A and B are shown apart, each in its own frame.
Chain A
Amino acid sequence: MKLNEKKFFELAKANGFESADYALNESSSLSVSIFHGEVDSLTNNNSFSLVARGIYKGKMGSISVDHVDKDSPEFLVKEIKRAAQIIENDDPVFIFKGSEKYHKKNVSKNVDFSENIQEKVGILKEIEKKLLAYDKRINEVMSVGFESSSNAYKKTNSYGLKLSQKMNSYTYYVQLSAKQGEEIRTGFEVFASFDENEFNIDDFVKKAATNALEKLGSVQCSSKKYPVVLNPECVAALISTLIGSLDAEEIQKHTSLLEGKLNQQVLSKKLTVIENPLAKNLFFRYFDDEGVATNKKYLFKKGVVSTYLYTLQTAAKDKVSPTGNGYGSGSKAHADVGYVEVKGGKKSEEEIISEIKEGVYLTELTGLHAGMNAQSGNFSLQCAGFMIRDGKKCEPLALITVADNLLNVFNNIKCVANNNKLVIFNQMSCPSIYIKKMAISGK
């Protein structure tokens, strides 16, 4: 099933469109999970999505579909026109003619979907068995699964720009629980890569088991301000929200806490954050969803706001160049980032913890969608972690909250560790960071 591209562009032109484009995403995936030694769920999917856009009388209309047939060119043009005709915003809109240079790389591997699924089932069974044998307190492997997926993304427009990229990934995941007396704690582990050979079962089992077991015996700490070490996952969660404040649209609409702060020192000199979408990893992107070439750049350099993130539209409004951060599938792109690295420091995490007499080591932040005010940077979140006493990680903590403000947190950095870790969920490599004080609420 293919869109008749020539007909679509011809019809768009005949209907008075200034320009038009479409983005096509085709993906395939195979996933399997087991429960109690038996295959519990197996899915095999082929997915297709197409977003077509056009500029009609100075307004951008768009439509997304997951099915095309011979009538699609007429339907797409009609609906794009309908969408464009109701827009009243006078902001300039663009279908991009192309960047001067693109840094295309091949980072995908051929995925064979006919591969023997039984071999994967065997690996999953081995993981389940090893986890249950790891420690008698591990009482349940709730889900253990594998997924391989491949994805082909293509962007074409009426100016003749044609961009495409292929990606693939392999993912293993597990969720488990550990029980001690009446207390139950859950743990999880995810491995994702485009190279399955990097997967090591024993390492995966050890990380997953430790993640659940070390939480047993959790208590609440006293409510007060503590020195806090944020682990890489917690750093990634907070930095992701902070990066959202670099969105030029939020700046232009006066709803960002970083408005008027470009090139100003707003965070600790110890914090440097770099967007590197061209890094050869799972998150490689050499063009954004508007077709603009991506590039490696500082977001925060030694605490200074180095750039705002621009789409074609917000860049035109500020009379600057787009930054290759236009993402999204509708008529209006929003700013986002690809792979991000938070620069690591010199000390190990252990060295940093050894300097703290009494503090908290945070390993989980939950409820960000409800407890984080992205506009103001204020947050109050459920969290979990460990007490630090006399320089050592001690009893686990649960059912506590941490409250602060993003600018405040990253202005109060005492030290950045050298333990950078890839946090898959946030597409980010982060180290642990030692914050001078944060408000923890417990008992």
Chain B
Amino acid sequence: MAKTKRRSVLKLAGGAALGGMAGILATGRTPAFAQQKTVHWLKWVDFVPATDQMFTKELMPAAEKDLGIKMKLETVNGNDLQPRITAAIQSGAGPDLIMSFNSYTHLYANSVVDMSALAEDVGKREGGLYKYARAICSDGKVFMGMPWAVIGGMIAYRKSWWDEIGVTKFPDTWESYREAGKKLKAKGRPLGQTLGHTFGDAPGFSYPYLWSWGGKEVEADGKTVVINSKETLESVKFMTGFWKDAHDEGGLAWDDTNNNRAFLSQTISATLNGASIYIESLRKPDQYKTERGEFLNKDILHAPLPKGPAGQFGFHLLQSNMLMKYSKNQDAAKEFLKWLHAEANYRKFFESQKGFATPCTAKWESDKLWDVDPVMTPYKVAARLGQAIGNAGPPNAKAQEVLSKYIITDMYAKAVQGMPAEDAVKWAESELKKVYAG
């Protein structure tokens, strides 16, 4: 029998072990049994709590089962998304997928993966992507984010109070809206609108208001500042009187939640908002009752912002999901997004929102969900009416800077605080010129 030397046994064992390790290191992959990938998705805390519950209980486990990956869903307050994105990009580590609001996509364009293939595919399958979603998520060459949903902003109003002043059809022009508001304010039921530094409702009102008068930030070249126009000036002058006549003047300090509280506690008769006021009143019908003791949710209707001389517009919160360039799980994250946008899966999200979120493709406009509750029906066209910031230029990083600095909102805020309209517009012009020149 051949003698087995101790040394040769060690050599063999060591060789095998080293070979194995070297092989693993060379491929940069862990062995198959430990290969389950984790996709980390960071999104906002949904204003509809049922949606986040549905994600945790249904969609995430289903994705894990179908795709063989591990999902990590993290939710943060909408205002905290940007600090997280900045920290993640600068450190080169963080969630694989991050939810973007509006033009964040343009702001972080260098740090995201192109989602064109999936976006075009979903668009083709679902009757076409809305222009609004395309403008915000794509720079014409690549899709910086995968369009997810539009949180429509509509005016929620108290039907009975408007009936009482003889207005049975919601005003469709600024003049008639102001007239009605004047009557309502005289009865201690003013219109409620924020002109404060808050991400949603303030620009959601001030931008479409400006556009409806024909005011523009810049020309289509995205450089020539044209805010100081007759149209803008008219809009500012109208706003100062409108504010005094019809609005709750505390609105200068409101954040995105103040108008919800004011409406639900019946101190205002109308306010621009997502559907969250109505949804909250549906959720707690016994808590929110009218002065006659009836359910408040039976007395709420929605309408789009009125028209101005140049038309009717909306600026809604458009959400998309960005696949980050630093992600080491890009393939798995892409697979997950593809899976999430499959009709059956996306429908679960859509239905859980009950109309709070409008999908970015045309097909969903005719979905039967919009017939379930007529109060929610106006939201179905939110994405269609939407226009992106930076008009008439692209919604790029410059336009986002103007938005982040609240220049358009502050132009109106300064005027209603007493600054002459001409000066407020000139101030906005000088600020815009600094932004667009840089």
Bind each other: no
